[in-house]
């Protein structure tokens, strides 16, 4: 049962990390593409700083963390597509997310000595 709580903690940290990165990139996108206030760049910078800090909380080596994080990022970005952009993901999005998460699981959960 302890492995399950560790897995859920790792997944939750990856999701928070992805949200911080997406928000940090989405706000400047709003400024540059939608003509929103330049003041949005301040919370964007804070969000990207939070993203960088959250990456340091993962216990794996940096390169392994970045590689595995990519799988979760893809899935969270597709969720953003649906919830924020209002575009319903299709089966190809779902298949891509499943493949990305499978890759993340192999990287993070592989038995290592």
For 53-61, the CB contacts below 8 A with 24+ separation are: 54/13, 54/16, 54/17, 54/20, 55/17, 57/13, 58/10, 58/13, 58/14, 58/17, 60/108
Give the pLDDT confidence score for residue 8 in this predicted structure.
86
pLDDT of 74 strictly over 80: yes
Write out pLDDT tens, residues 19-54.
999 999 999 999 999 999 999 999 999 999 999 999
**Dihedral (C-alpha) 78, 26, 36, 81: value to the nearest 10 degrees?**
0
Give the pLDDT confidence score for residue 3 in this predicted structure.
72
Give the pLDDT confidence score for residue 110 in this predicted structure.
84
Write out pLDDT tens, residues 59-68.
778 888 888 8
Give the pLDDT confidence score for residue 17 in this predicted structure.
94
Write out pLDDT tens, residues 76-105.
999 999 999 999 999 999 999 999 999 988
- Residue 6's pLDDT band, with cuts at 50, 70 and 90, is confident
Return d(Cα 37, Cα 14) in angstroms, integer.
Answer: 29
């Amino acid at each position: 049962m302890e492995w399950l709580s560790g897995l859920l903690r790792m997944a939750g940290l990856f999701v928070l990390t992805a949200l911080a990165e997406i928000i940090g990139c989405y706000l400047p996108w709003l400024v540059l593409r939608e003509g929103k206030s330049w003041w949005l760049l301040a919370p964007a910078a804070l969000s990207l700083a939070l993203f960088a800090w959250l990456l340091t909380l993962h216990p794996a080596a940096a390169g392994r963390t970045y590689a595995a994080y990519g799988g979760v990022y893809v899935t969270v970005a597709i969720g953003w597509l649906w919830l924020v952009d209002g575009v319903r993901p299709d089966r190809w999005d779902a298949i891509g997310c499943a493949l990305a998460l499978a890759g993340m699981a192999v990287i993070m959960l592989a038995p290592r000595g």
